Structure 1
């Protein structure tokens, strides 16, 4: 599209998470008129740490926001996979991409705060919960719970795994339970029993359980994550300290002690869901990005990275194409084969025997796809 066409483009982004904030930044750099609508009255990202891959960091460099992200993250050289009791199984350097050779480890809260901090004041409008979206072909109209109605040339649905935009226009399939729970906390490095001495991610694998230690040493902290098989698909299940300790039975005693010492009020507990691949991500005036388009399980650590890549690819496609319609088609053609692959790989988390132990005679939908 011509620069003059891009500057006349009115874009409404639904959702101020990773994908929405990144899309807003990338699209605003094209000169478009961008507004982000977020349902929350204040931004508060829960959870723990994530790794930003080199390709993601290169996007931030391209957008001129690399320093803002680097200030609140730690560069990491490699990741390591170990047995439950600490025997080395795999050690690999992080893949490199172009000028940026490091993966950066960052707290989710710091990440979203840094992303939103590089957007122009007033671009993000809080307290806007989307109720419906009407696509008339030449544009789209959003209706929010507060009664406000907004029209746009392009709507970017970045509203997460339970996306209203996806459900209204592209797919009414419900999220799929993986058969897992994720328990996430951030603790002091001093409480890690000497297990964190550098800036590299380590994952300990036992029967039915994975434990992640992701250093956040720039904060003097470590992200402590447990992923465990569990048949309870309640979105926010009720879990006790004893339940958590039982998941790490047989692990390195230091990991068991970390678990025993967790303050349950600080542990983020959730059942783990993804979605099946969505056949079409776009119309002529609406497009999905991030979890709204391709929510995936966290085993490959690619959810946030894929959302950032979506934002960059969408801006690239609009710049390269002759029209908005062609740009959205190019975006999907560029990104969907990659995210379809990542969704499938991310579901390959457990062996059949381990699944049968927890789900005798029945398997959750995501686990069943691994066979």
Structure 2
């Protein structure tokens, strides 16, 4: 079959690589003009990630990462209030992305191809790009995330929209050598937390942008969850342009970044505050919940965050996308297309709903 996929991040790549392995003709359309390598941090691999890497013949990717030798919780002064001696490895998002991307020939993976419409008619489906081009297919997969164009084409009303949870994640990702001495002493080689009323900070070392794990070539990944009542007021970039869901790296206004640093020293333990100050280009992601009533319609299918958005506290976003991709590929091996899509919807909708509910429980104290 011909399969067209909107979205070239991990979910789209997982599905594309599995379906291409099964003999289908796959085209992935990715909005970014430069690709996505170098943009990720670290992730805690769940069983679905190990399973899909085994299926794709790349199991070694899940065994290479940066290990935090203990988990600690800091007090306001920066001392260790709680210690857990269990270690935890964060595999490299970028190494995972590059490994799966390498399974897709360049002709199957088109960058700079922004999808602006999708549709299905009988046994055919299609994607239209912003430059006026189109790709016809037997199946279209929407792996295009929170602002999914494919999802928008499946539901006529605006009732299926992401629901803002009341808080955002400020993200900081800086080269290990840029860490201040106070941060190195307290945070290096550890998975660290700080809990506060209406907020939480956490951080850990991750691989470098090409999967480097040697000391000095790694990066420090830090997240600060904060309540924000006026989300539209925050999501305005340095050129005065509004954004719906996030402000990417390099677009946060200087005065907002300066205020963030002041707030960090007023509210966070000094080691975390120094991380915030050391990051010249923080970026911010609003936290949303999303559930769709169904994952398929005609020859259109949703996958990953295009269908169900679970809060990042679950650490299950990549695993959920991997599970979706494996379930869809398996269903298409077993049954004719329409029956396979019904099977996929029934199986993965239940899983997606459960993960979203789990994320709501984990994030309830931050709302």
* TM-score (normalizing by structure 2): 0.80
Offset, 1:66: 2.4
2:121 aligns with one of 117, 136, 152: 136
- Relative to structure 1, is the Cα distance of residues 86 and 12 closer, same or farther in structure 2, using a 3 angstrom cutoff? farther
The residue correspondences of 1:1-371 to structure 2 (distance < 5 A) are 9-44=1-36, 46=39, 48-68=41-61, 70-71=63-64, 73-74=65-66, 84=76, 85-88=78-81, 91=84, 104-106=90-92, 108-170=93-155, 172=158, 173-190=160-177, 191=179, 192-198=183-189, 201-216=191-206, 218=213, 219-233=217-231, 234=235, 235=245, 236=247, 238=253, 239-247=256-264, 249-263=266-280, 266-270=281-285, 272-320=286-334, 322-349=335-362, 367=367
Alpha-carbon contact 1:79-1:201 (below 8 Å) kept: yes
1:193 is paired with a residue of what secondary structure?
A: helix
Rounded to whole Å, the distance in 1 between the matches of 2:357 and 2:85 is 22
Rounded to whole Å, the distance in 2 between the matches of 1:139 and 1:167 is 18
Alpha-carbon contact 1:39-1:128 (below 8 Å) kept: yes
Structure 1 unaligned segments of length 5 or more: list them: 1-8, 95-101, 356-366
- Cα deviation, 1:26-68, whole Å, max 9, x if unaligned, reads 1112111111111222213646433222431232122112234
Offset, 1:332: 2.1
- Relative to structure 1, is the Cα distance of residues 154 and 81 closer, same or farther in structure 2, using a 3 angstrom cutoff? farther
Rounded to whole Å, the distance in 1 between the matches of 2:317 and 2:97 is 14
Alpha-carbon contact 1:48-1:184 (below 8 Å) kept: no
State the superposition RMSD in angstroms.
2.7
Runs of 4+ displaced beyond 6 Å:
none
- Relative to structure 1, is the Cα distance of residues 121 and 44 closer, same or farther in structure 2, using a 3 angstrom cutoff? closer
Which has the higher mean CA deviation after the structures are superposed, 188-197 or 146-155?
188-197
- Relative to structure 1, is the Cα distance of residues 207 and 86 closer, same or farther in structure 2, using a 3 angstrom cutoff? farther
Rounded to whole Å, the distance in 1 between the matches of 2:152 and 2:139 is 17
* TM-score (normalizing by structure 1): 0.80
Rounded to whole Å, the distance in 2 between the matches of 1:103 and 1:68 is 12
Number of aligned residues: 332
Alpha-carbon contact 1:170-1:280 (below 8 Å) kept: no
Rounded to whole Å, the distance in 2 between the matches of 1:60 and 1:342 is 22
Rounded to whole Å, the distance in 1 between the matches of 2:56 and 2:195 is 37
Which has the higher mean CA deviation after the structures are superposed, 13-22 or 61-70?
61-70
Offset, 1:90: 7.5
Offset, 1:244: 3.9
Rounded to whole Å, the distance in 1 between the matches of 2:269 and 2:342 is 50
Alpha-carbon contact 1:53-1:103 (below 8 Å) kept: no
- Cα deviation, 1:72-97, whole Å, max 9, x if unaligned, reads x3356775555555555574858xxx
Offset, 1:276: 2.9
Rounded to whole Å, the distance in 2 between the matches of 1:57 and 1:116 is 17
Alpha-carbon contact 1:78-1:93 (below 8 Å) kept: yes
